[in-house]
Each structure stands twice: as C-alpha cells, then as structure tokens.
C-alpha cells in the first residue's frame, strides 16, 4: 500500500484462526485493521470507528452476513464490502447487488494466496 493514510479494514469472521491470520497479514501489509467475531460487535465498532472496507463472512453466529452488510451500509454508507466465505452464493441476492457488490467481491475460503484479498481491497477503493 502506498497511501499516506492507511486504509481502514474491518474483518468480521467467527472463526478465530481465519480472523486473526487475516488481521495479522493485513496489518503487516500496512492496513489499519479492526476485527470482530460477531456481527453485533462489528456494528457497535462501526459506530465508533468507520472503515473503508469490511471483509465479511456470510455465516456469522448472531446474524447472517447479508443482514450485517445491509445494517453496516446504513451506518456507514461509504464502506465497501468484500465477502470472504466458505460457501459462496451461486447468485448474489438483489439486496447486495443494490449496494454495488459484485461476484468480484466474493473471495472463497480458504484464500491460500492472501494477495487476492489485498488486490481486491485496492480495487474497491480505486473504483
């Protein structure tokens, strides 16, 4: 990343190993990272710390990722979203498409090459 102000990224995933490894990797790449294991915790954090991009698992314990994205968008309309999931949807729901999310914004788990995520982050904020 070449920007003077680091991109602010939220990682929302209930799998602690995925959440922590992704957060550590992104911090090492120069991003300012916040992470959460639940949607409720992440929404609370967004009211205090808006982010540029949220990386969201669709299967969260307290709320599905699609509902989280809708609520997060209402809180912070400038936030962009990447979906990081083990069960990618075959077709994106209209509610996500209306928010500008495309199939390019879905990253299947496990992402063995984490550069895929950093390239997607940079693409989102460049659009």
Q: Is residue 51 part of a domain?
A: yes
The reply to whether 32 falls in a domain is yes
- Residue 104 resides in a domain: yes
12 belongs to a structural domain: yes
In-domain check, residue 73: yes
**Is residue 54 over pLDDT 90?**
yes
How many domains does the chain fold into?
Answer: 1
Mean pLDDT score of the chain: 91
In a domain, 38, yes or no: yes
Q: Which domain holds residue 89?
A: 8-126
Domain containing 61 — which CATH number? 3.40.50.2300
Q: What does the pLDDT look like over 5-45, one tens digit per residue?
A: 899 999 999 999 999 999 999 999 999 999 999 999 999 99
> What is the strand order of the sheet 106-108 is part of?
32-36, 8-12, 53-56, 80-85, 106-108
89: pLDDT confidence band, cut at 50, 70 and 90?
low
The verdict on residue 3 lying in a domain is no
pTM of the model: 0.92
Q: Helix 65-75 vs helix 39-48: angle between axes, to the nearest 10 degrees?
A: 10
């Amino acid at each position: 990343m070449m920007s003077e102000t680091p991109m602010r990224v939220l990682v929302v995933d209930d799998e602690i190993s995925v959440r922590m490894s992704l957060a550590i990797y992104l911090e090492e790449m120069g991003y300012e990272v916040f992470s959460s294991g639940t949607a409720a915790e992440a929404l609370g954090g967004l009211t205090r710390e808006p982010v540029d991009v949220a990386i969201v698992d669709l299967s969260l314990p307290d709320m599905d990722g699609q509902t989280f994205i809708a609520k997060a968008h209402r809180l912070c309309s400038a936030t962009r979203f990447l979906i990081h999931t083990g069960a990618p949807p075959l077709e994106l729901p209209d509610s996500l498409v209306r928010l500008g999310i495309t199939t390019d914004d879905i990253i299947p788990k496990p992402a063995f090459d984490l550069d895929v995520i950093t390239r997607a982050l940079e693409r989102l904020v460049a659009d």
